[in-house]
């Protein structure tokens, strides 16, 4: 593709997300932008042929588009985890409601073991700081807001799992194994 056409497309995509970032970036806005520019992302990677270019597009590095794209795609990973965290928290709450002390410990261990990969590998840090508050992030020099309510179950799962796995050490063998690396 002609570089000037690619430059124009990349700049238009960056401008679109910069304009969208003037308001809270809800899941649907991010999904739509990623979907609309997926082909352009692939096109740019093909154009770069595996090396990072330092060419400028209207004063911006050509690779800025790809960084923005990857940044928002990583943010979408948190949205994708929200459903799984909601399921995990429903299971956790049903364990608490069972109110049988003898079974709770075993059932909590089973719960932690079941969701260990999620808690230790995928959600190693909270998706946002705070809970129901707006969270300001930046994509390079562009600040944008993510609403905390959208990550409510992820935040809840993170707190509960962290408490049980790390603080309470409910699975001491798994914790020791994890620490050994």
Q: Compare 78 and 31 and report the one with higher pLDDT.
A: 31
Q: What is the mean pLDDT of residues 25-36?
A: 91
Q: Are 147 and 24 in contact (CB under 8 A)?
A: yes
Q: Work out the angle at residue 118's Cα, subtended by the Cα atoms of residues 117 and 124, and round it to the nearest 5 degrees.
A: 100
Torsion angle of the four alpha carbons 10, 69, 26, 75, in this order, in degrees rounded to the nearest 10 = -170
Concatenating the DSSP letter of every residue in 95-119 gives HHHH--HHHHHHHHHHHHHHTHHII
Q: What is the pTM of this model?
A: 0.71
Calpha distance 178→181 (Å, rounded): 5
3-state SS, residue 125: coil
Calpha distance 142→18 (Å, rounded): 7
pLDDT for the residue numbered 57: 47
Query: Per residue in 42-87, pLDDT tens?
Result: 877 666 555 555 555 444 556 778 888 888 888 888 888 999 999 9
Domain regions of the chain by residue span: 3-180
Q: What is the mean pLDDT of residues 6-11?
A: 81
Q: Compare 56 and 116 and report the one with higher pLDDT.
A: 116
Query: Per residue in 137-149, pLDDT tens?
Result: 776 666 777 777 8
pLDDT score of 35 more than 90: yes
């Amino acid at each position: 593709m002609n570089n000037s056409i690619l430059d124009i497309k990349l700049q238009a995509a960056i401008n679109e997300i910069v304009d969208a970032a003037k308001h809270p970036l809800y899941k649907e806005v991010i999904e739509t932008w990623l979907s609309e520019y997926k082909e352009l992302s692939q096109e740019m990677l093909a154009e770069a042929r595996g090396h990072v270019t330092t060419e400028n597009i209207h004063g911006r590095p050509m690779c800025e588009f790809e960084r923005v794209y990857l940044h928002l795609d990583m943010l979408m990973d948190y949205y994708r985890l929200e459903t799984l965290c909601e399921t995990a928290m429903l299971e956790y709450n049903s364990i608490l409601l069972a109110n049988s002390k003898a079974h709770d410990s075993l059932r909590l261990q089973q719960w932690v073991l079941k969701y260990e990969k999620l808690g230790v590998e995928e959600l190693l840090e909270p998706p946002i700081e705070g809970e129901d508050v707006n969270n300001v992030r930046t994509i390079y020099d562009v600040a944008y807001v993510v609403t905390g309510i959208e990550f409510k179950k992820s935040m809840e799962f993170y707190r509960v799992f962290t408490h049980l796995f790390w603080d309470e050490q409910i699975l001491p063998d798994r914790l020791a194994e994890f620490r050994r690396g």
